[in-house]
Structure 1
Amino acid sequence: MVSTGRNLLKKMYYYRAMYLLLLPGLAYITLFKYVPMAGIMLAFKEYNVVTGIWDSPWNGFANFERFFQGSYFWPIMRNTILISLYKLLFGFPAPIILALLLNEVRVNWFKRIVQTLTYLPHFLSWVIVYGILMAFLAPNEGLLNVLLKLFGFEAVPFLTAPEWIRTLLVSTDIWKDAGWGAILYLAALANIDPSLYEAAIIDGAGRRRQLWHVTLPGIRSVVILMLILKLSHILDVGFDQVFMMSNIFNQEKSDIIDTWVYRVGLQEMRFGVATAVGMFKAVIGFILVLTANKVAKKWDGQIW
């Protein structure tokens, strides 16, 4: 036991430079991920700002009951799940398709330009993205509505009509992050053994057959891993995006858990209920990760 401890200390001293590089990341995770977990107790307390966290009385599962029994529960859950499923259905394949298309481009300068243009929107904040939407889709002065009126059509209230908000949320999310997500799949595509394509060509496989039997199986593990990570955040629709694009006119179709927590936790100062909802989201995400990983292992073996 003593010799094992000494060997461990010797290894740590030998790799001391690596451990020093590890310290900033470890400090960040500890301070901003693990230390705040102590605040979970607010979910089980009738928190009072005056008395503080420790002296506030315990109330069991009352905060959870207020959330589950409220008239707002089903509308915000429906909006959250629907928007998340739409993003998963249409947004998840987008970077894969983009990566496959870029992988087929043989003109390097054109490929680099397209890749740069597609991942640049990732660095724009949702405030800027909404400003761009205002320039194009504003009811009176937006470019698209100006063109519609120019050709004799009525202006469409894209930014305020409830029936348009989910389409805007999904489409802008794809536009903003598809290029950035494609980088990972391009890296996976670069690791596929070229001899597999050569063998497929010798066997008479065309481009479609090569795609189906070589390319897609080559990135399958990465796709499954990314799908598992997506499922773990199925209740995280994206607060910044929804907060910027939702308004009193389209709120019935855009109000999600995160925006509701913002109003209840920060505006109404009901921190206990807000913490309970955050804990509920974390538990659901944890269950989905375990379930998805178990299904993935049965379908394709252990991928991590």
Structure 2
Amino acid sequence: MFPGIVYFVLFKYVPLWGLLMAFKNYQPFLGLVKSEWAGFQHFHRLFGMSDFWMLFRNTIILGLYNVLVFFPITICLALLLNEVRKEMFKRFVQTLVYVPHFLSWVVIAGITYVLLTTEGGIINELLKLLGYGQVEFLTSTEAFRPLIVLQMIWKDAGWGTIIFLAALAGVNLQLYEAARIDGASRFQQLWHITLPSIRSVIVILFILRLGSFLDLGFEQIFLMLNAVNREVGEVFDTYVYRVGLQQGQFSYSTAVGLFKSAVGLILVVIANKIAKWCGEEGIY
């Protein structure tokens, strides 16, 4: 346990000291201790700026896509893989859906550009051959969010099935045998045996996912943003990079990050309470 404890102390607990920066006017040459206090000044600035509701709306919508679209697809994919009986074919498919996880978002963005750009993109070239006009996928405000979700599904849906497949491996096979004797179809076995058996795992992973509801990942969205789709694509992560790192407003960007963490904590507590009321174990 010692290496794990050291890791969490050094990289999870010690950095909490830096949250003080959100309540100070941090000056690098003065340091965190000697910088003057600012109270809730940075939070007032965050909630009062004109772009706050735009950032909040974009982050919430993409977060909902993540929870309501991406998360169920990982469950469905795990259930489909679990139904495959030929072991060699199952391993082949698992390898195919796992591999994209190990590609960086830079590579994913590059592949997306090659496929969808209007300057020789494969998809637009096919549309031209079929007699259709070009589609501005990369600069369209309507296509930005579905494109982000599709990228997430392609890259990480397979990797997200690992825990569900491990839980499915622990389901008692005698339950399926008894169900088959009673005449249950494959779908009925799935609905009445498989899903109830992994329900606790689904609930726990759902609660943990809510904890990072506003943490959508910086790299993917930053690489897909441009001047045209920024109105629907700018989120807190990219805003923190633009304001905090590029403009050197460290205290303000820390306040934005603390706000995100507070929202995630509240969502986890609420979801855990609901899980307890529904008879599940929850995470604590």
Same fold (TM over 0.5): yes
Identity among equivalent positions (%) equals: 53
- One-letter amino acid of the structure 2 residue matched with residue 286 of structure 1: L
The aligned counterpart of 1:159 is: 138
Aligned length: 283
- 1:158 deviation in Å? 0.9
Q: Quick check: 1:216 aligned with 2:181?
A: no
Q: Quick check: 1:188 aligned with 2:172?
A: no
**2: CA distance, partners of 1:279 / 1:303:** 24
- 1:25 deviation in Å? 2.3
Structure 1 segment 9-28 matched on structure 2, within 5 A: 22-28=1-7
The aligned counterpart of 2:275 is: 296
Q: Quick check: 1:78 aligned with 2:88?
A: no
Q: Pick the aligned partner of 2:238 from 259, 263, 266.
A: 259
- 1:283 deviation in Å? 1.1
* Mean CA deviation greater in 42-51 or 77-86: 42-51
Structure 2 SS opposite 1:89: helix
**2: CA distance, partners of 1:302 / 1:256:** 33
Q: Quick check: 1:277 aligned with 2:263?
A: no
Structure 1 segment 40-59 matched on structure 2, within 5 A: 40-59=19-38
Measured against aligned partners, the alpha-carbon deviations of 1:160-214 in whole angstroms (never above 9, x if no partner) come to 1111110110111011111011111111111000111112122221111111110
The aligned counterpart of 2:186 is: 207
Q: Pick the aligned partner of 1:120 from 73, 78, 99.
A: 99
CA contact (8 A) 1:158 1:164 kept: yes
**2: CA distance, partners of 1:46 / 1:198:** 66
**1: CA distance, partners of 2:282 / 2:2:** 28
- One-letter amino acid of the structure 2 residue matched with residue 59 of structure 1: A
**2: CA distance, partners of 1:219 / 1:256:** 33
RMSD across aligned positions (CA): 1.1
Measured against aligned partners, the alpha-carbon deviations of 1:207-240 in whole angstroms (never above 9, x if no partner) come to 1111111010011001001100111111011111
- 1:297 deviation in Å? 1.3
TM-score (norm 1): 0.91
Which structure: larger Rg? Answer: 1
Q: Pick the aligned partner of 2:219 from 227, 232, 240.
A: 240
Q: Structure 1 regions of 5+ residues with no counterpart? A: 1-21
CA contact (8 A) 1:140 1:155 kept: no
**1: CA distance, partners of 2:212 / 2:81:** 28
Q: Pick the aligned partner of 1:105 from 66, 84, 106.
A: 84
- 1:155 deviation in Å? 1.1
Structure 2 SS opposite 1:179: coil
* Mean CA deviation greater in 54-63 or 73-82: 54-63
Measured against aligned partners, the alpha-carbon deviations of 1:2-37 in whole angstroms (never above 9, x if no partner) come to xxxxxxxxxxxxxxxxxxxx3322222222211111
The aligned counterpart of 2:127 is: 148
- 1:303 deviation in Å? 4.2
CA contact (8 A) 2:200 2:281 kept: no
- One-letter amino acid of the structure 2 residue matched with residue 108 of structure 1: E
CA contact (8 A) 2:22 2:254 kept: yes
Measured against aligned partners, the alpha-carbon deviations of 1:77-102 in whole angstroms (never above 9, x if no partner) come to 00000011012111011111111111
- One-letter amino acid of the structure 2 residue matched with residue 126 of structure 1: W
- 1:49 deviation in Å? 2.4
Q: Larger % of helix: which?
A: 1
- 1:152 deviation in Å? 1.9
- One-letter amino acid of the structure 2 residue matched with residue 170 of structure 1: V
Structure 1 SS opposite 2:39: coil
